[in-house]
């Protein structure tokens, strides 16, 4: 499957066809220990775009993005109920990798498959012209979308969050493994999260 085969229409029927093709993607199948199960949510009217890493095993099984403890924390950060968070007409979820990539022997999950974002992100972004704010969760999303503007570390990038508004807002991954990071960087909760919630409320109103 190549990018040229993906529809780029801005009408609802076009994006529905795009999601159907994405969910049928088998490009990385040989590298996926649990097999392909692409997870993506999008609509032409979405105003908030969430770009995270890749599904974990629980999301792989359910097909529901952020349906885990990390998702609970993310919704807390955003100040959103699950009902609003999963309102696909307003919030798109297009991760760096659509499928569970497998376990990293060093701990945690492997990085998102490198084939996914270059193939699928351009048509999805083209099909969502109403997006006003994109949350870049984790270093993989920040590297792709901030480019040379990204700082040397994820911490420095997130600390520099004001420089990327109004288009982007970088965030750490909401994994509970990052609890120590949050405690070490109190500015994240005191300074960044209130602005994040204000921006999200403004664009979803």
Residue-wise pLDDT for 56-115, tens only, equals 999 999 999 999 999 999 999 999 999 999 999 999 999 999 999 999 888 789 999 999
Q: What percent of the chain has pLDDT over 90?
A: 89
Q: Is the predicted pLDDT of residue 177 greater than 90, yes or no?
A: no
Q: Is the predicted pLDDT of residue 8 greater than 50, yes or no?
A: no
pLDDT of 10:
56
In the predicted model, what is the mean pLDDT of the chain?
94
118-148: pLDDT as tens digits: 999 999 999 999 999 999 999 999 999 999 9
Q: Please enumerate in sequence order all residues whose Cβ is within 8 A of that of 114, keeping only pairs 6 or more positions apart, or say none.
A: none
Q: Please provide residue 167's backbone torsions phi and psi, each rounded to the nearest 5 degrees.
A: -80, -45
| Distance in angstroms (rounded) separating the CA atoms of residues 197 and 184 | 21
Q: Which CATH number fits domain 3-204: 3.40.50.740, 2.60.40.420, 3.40.470.10, 2.60.260.20?
A: 3.40.470.10
pLDDT of 12:
76
| Distance in angstroms (rounded) separating the CA atoms of residues 51 and 138 | 9
pLDDT of 5:
44
With H, G, I as helix, E, B as strand and everything else as coil, classify residue 41. Answer: strand
| Distance in angstroms (rounded) separating the CA atoms of residues 165 and 152 | 19
pLDDT of 37:
98
Q: Is the predicted pLDDT of residue 9 greater than 90, yes or no?
A: no
CA atoms within 13 A on the CB side of 19: 18
CB distance 173 to 141 below 8 Å: no
162 vs 104: which has the higher pLDDT: 162
Domain boundaries in the chain?
Answer: 3-204
| Distance in angstroms (rounded) separating the CA atoms of residues 103 and 109 | 4
Sign of CA dihedral 55, 114, 176, 161: negative
Q: Please provide residue 49's backbone torsions phi and psi, each rounded to the nearest 5 degrees.
A: -120, 130
CB distance 15 to 128 below 8 Å: yes
Instruction: Find the mean pLDDT for residues 37-48.
Output: 98
| Distance in angstroms (rounded) separating the CA atoms of residues 38 and 1 | 14
């Amino acid at each position: 499957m190549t990018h040229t085969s993906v529809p780029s229409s801005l009408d609802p029927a076009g994006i529905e066809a795009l999601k159907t093709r994405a969910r049928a993607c088998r490009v990385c199948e040989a590298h996926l220990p649990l097999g392909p199960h692409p997870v993506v949510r999008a609509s032409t009217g979405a105003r908030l775009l969430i770009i995270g890493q890749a599904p974990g095993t629980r999301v792989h099984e359910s097909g529901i993005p952020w349906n885990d403890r990390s998702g609970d924390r993310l919704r807390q950060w955003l100040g959103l109920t699950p009902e609003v968070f999963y309102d696909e007409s307003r919030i798109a979820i297009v991760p760096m990798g659509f499928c569970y990539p497998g376990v990293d022997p060093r701990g945690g999950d492997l990085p998102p498959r490198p084939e996914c974002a270059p193939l699928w992100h351009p048509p999805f972004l083209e099909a969502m012209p109403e997006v006003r704010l994109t949350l870049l969760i984790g270093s993989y999303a920040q590297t792709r979308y901030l480019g040379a503007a990204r700082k040397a570390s994820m911490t420095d990038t997130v600390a520099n969050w004001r420089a990327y508004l109004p288009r982007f807002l970088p965030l750490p991954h909401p994994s509970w493994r990052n609890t120590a990071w949050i405690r070490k960087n109190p500015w994240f909760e005191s300074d960044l999260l209130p602005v994040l919630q204000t921006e999200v409320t403004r664009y979803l109103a």
